């Protein structure tokens, strides 16, 4: 009798959970909410949640609110993989906004096995630029970012380039992208490999200086990049430095403080102070959510959330992970309001937009 009672209670709980899920669209996310890249992860989550909250206040999509369910991966690849499994087991409608290619590596195959969209990872690295039926990006690739950066500096005659990269699968691929580009102009980069999630100090910066670079190109996170920049300034060494958007511009500026001035950072969304309609829409959503100043990470998260919501709106009924996947694949060109995303079967990397901005002395990011 007791076993039957337990079984009935479990069945009722499962039914309640299913009914609850049917009352809303649940999107799953794994992000570093704690640990060394916590500010970036929280900005991604908060930017998306702000847009969904604004949308939900107007009735949601197809009559239901969108809920973003975020699990903390502490910037750890194994934890991100485990989180992906937990989320997929909850039958989320899509996986959204994983914070890096490294955190995405083990999650994408899981999403593919379930026919669930893996949407808008915050990376332009090669592992998330492949053709995969469930993978969708809303930003330019790191190759396109690096081309913008290197075009600018090589046109000024700079030739000795040192790439600061992580000594892992994704970091080495980023170095390879630079190497392949520089081959076209008969140049070859030097490299400074770093261990991911490890502190950076004087020894690493001295190794960098020993290479006598005319340009430093950083492809690492804000913490490591800030440590390098502060140490360079402390040593009185002013080396022109550019970084991929992966750094998280506002996170880097906060971490580096006054030492950030003069560093140029590629951007894959318009300036957050831009007057284009979708930027203003996102700014209003951030303000309503209590975010006083919208940064580029918030904005990119808002863009991704808006496109994902449009996919839900266009999905055929009954809306499932599979019908959402179909809707996103067949989205075509979608104008968010002055910023366009284009998806088609086999062409699911939706944007090539890249801008190059510089950190000013007062800690702002100014387009050149």
In a domain, 353, yes or no: no
Of the chain, the percentage scoring pLDDT greater than 90 comes to 81
Residue 336 has pLDDT above 70, yes or no: yes
Alpha-carbon gap, residue 260 to 229, rounded angstroms: 7
Domain shared by 106 and 223, yes or no = no
Do 75 and 115 lie in one domain? The reply is yes
| Shared domain check, 134 and 30 | yes
In a domain, 364, yes or no: no
Distances (CA, A) of 178 to 146, 155, 188, 215: 7, 16, 8, 13
215 with 332, same domain: the answer is: no
In a domain, 307, yes or no: yes
Instruction: Give the end of a domain, one of 238, 267, 296.
Output: 267
> Quick one: 113 and 259 in the same domain?
no
Residues in the chain: 368
pLDDT at 368: 60
pTM given for the model: 0.86
* pLDDT tens-digit readout, 194-221: 998 888 989 999 999 999 999 999 999 8
Judge if 100 and 171 occupy the same domain: no
Helix (H, G, I), strand (E, B) or coil at 257: helix
Q: Are residues 216 and 92 in the same domain?
A: no
Last residue of a domain, one of 205, 232, 267: 267
Q: Which two tokens stand for residue 150?
A: 């290197």
Residues 111, 121: Cα–Cα separation, whole Å: 13
Look at residue 9 in the predicted model and tell me its pLDDT: 42
CATH code: domain of residue 153: 3.40.50.2300
CA distance 332 to 344: 6
218 within a domain of the structure (yes/no): yes
Give strand pairing partners of 30: 71
CA atoms of 209 and 119, how far apart (whole Å) = 39
Could you give the CA distance from residue 196 to residue 209 in angstroms, rounded to a whole number? 21
41 lies in the same domain as 75: yes
Q: Do 205 and 165 have their domain in common?
A: yes
pLDDT for res 214: 95
Cα(135)–Cα(325) distance, integer angstroms: 9
- 15 pLDDT band (50/70/90 cuts)? very low
- By mean pLDDT, which of 13-17, 62-66, 242-246, 281-285 is the weakest? 13-17
Q: Are 365 and 305 in contact (CB under 8 A)?
A: no
Q: 127-131, 164-168, 244-248, 285-289: lowest mean pLDDT where?
A: 244-248
Burial of 10 (0-12, 13-18, 19+ CB in 10 A): exposed
Kindly state whether residue 358 falls inside one of the protein's structural domains.
no
Taking each helix axis as running N to C, give the angle between helix 169-183 and helix 142-155, from 0 to 180 degrees, rounded to the nearest 10: 40
> What are the tokens at 255?
């971490």
Same domain for 28 and 121? Answer: yes
pLDDT band at 14 (very low <50, low <70, confident <90, very high): very low
Of 240, 267, 294, the residue that ends a domain is 267
Does residue 169 share a domain with residue 233?
Answer: yes
21 part of a folded domain: yes
Q: Report yes or no on 365 lying in a domain.
A: no
For the chain, the maximum distance between any two Cα atoms, rounded to a whole number of angstroms, is 83
22 in helix, strand or coil? helix
Residue 257 sits in the same domain as residue 283: no
Taking residues 346-360, report their average pLDDT.
95
Q: Residue 203: which domain range?
A: 142-267
User: Is 101 inside any structural domain?
Assistant: yes
- For 29-55, the pLDDT digits (tens) are 999 999 988 999 999 999 999 999 999
Distance between CA atoms of residues 34 and 179, nearest Å: 34
Least-confidence region, from 21-25, 166-170, 246-250, 268-272? 21-25
Assign 331 a pLDDT band (cuts: 50, 70, 90). Answer: very high
Question: Which residue is associated with the tokens 């590629």?
Answer: 266
Whether 86 and 315 have beta carbons less than 8 Å apart is answered as no
What is the domain count for the chain?
2
Work out the mean pLDDT of the chain and round it to a whole number. 91
pLDDT tens digits along 235-286 = 999 899 999 998 888 889 999 999 999 999 999 999 999 999 999 999 999 9
């Amino acid at each position: 009798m007791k076993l039957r009672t337990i079984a009935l209670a479990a069945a009722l709980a499962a039914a309640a959970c299913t009914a609850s899920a049917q009352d809303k669209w649940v999107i799953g996310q794994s992000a570093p909410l704690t640990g060394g890249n916590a500010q970036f992860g929280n900005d991604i989550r908060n930017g998306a949640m702000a847009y969904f909250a604004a949308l939900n206040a107007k009735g949601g999509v197809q009559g239901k609110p969108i809920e973003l369910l975020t699990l903390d991966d502490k910037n750890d690849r194994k934890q991100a993989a485990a989180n992906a499994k937990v989320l997929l087991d909850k039958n989320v409608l899509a996986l959204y906004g994983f914070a890096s290619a490294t955190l995405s590596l083990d999650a994408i195959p899981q999403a593919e096995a379930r026919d669930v969209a893996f949407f808008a990872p915050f990376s332009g690295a090669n592992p998330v630029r492949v053709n995969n039926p469930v993978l969708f990006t809303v930003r330019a690739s790191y190759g396109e970012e690096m081309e913008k950066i290197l075009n600018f500096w090589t046109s000024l005659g700079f030739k000795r380039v040192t790439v600061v990269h992580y000594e892992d699968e994704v970091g080495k691929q980023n170095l390879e992208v630079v190497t392949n580009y520089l081959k076209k102009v008969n140049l070859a980069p030097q490299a400074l490999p770093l261990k991911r999630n490890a502190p950076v100090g004087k020894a690493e910066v001295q190794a960098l200086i020993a290479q006598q670079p005319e340009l430093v190109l950083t492809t690492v996170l804000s913490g490591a990049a800030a440590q390098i920049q502060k140490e360079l300034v402390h040593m009185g060494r002013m080396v022109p430095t550019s970084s991929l958007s992966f750094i998280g511009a506002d996170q880097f500026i906060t971490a580096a403080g006054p030492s950030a001035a003069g560093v140029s950072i590629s951007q894959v969304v318009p300036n957050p102070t831009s007057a284009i309609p979708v930027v203003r829409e996102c700014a209003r959503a951030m303000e309503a959510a209590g975010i006083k100043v919208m940064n580029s990470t918030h904005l990119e998260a808002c863009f991704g959330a808006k496109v994902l919501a449009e996919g839900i709106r266009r999905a055929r009924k009954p809306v499932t992970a599979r019908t959402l996947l179909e809707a996103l694949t067949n989205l075509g060109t979608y104008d968010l309001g002055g910023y366009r995303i284009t998806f088609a079967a086999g062409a699911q990397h939706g944007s090539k937009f890249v801008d190059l901005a510089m950190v000013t002395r007062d800690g702002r990011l100014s387009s050149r």
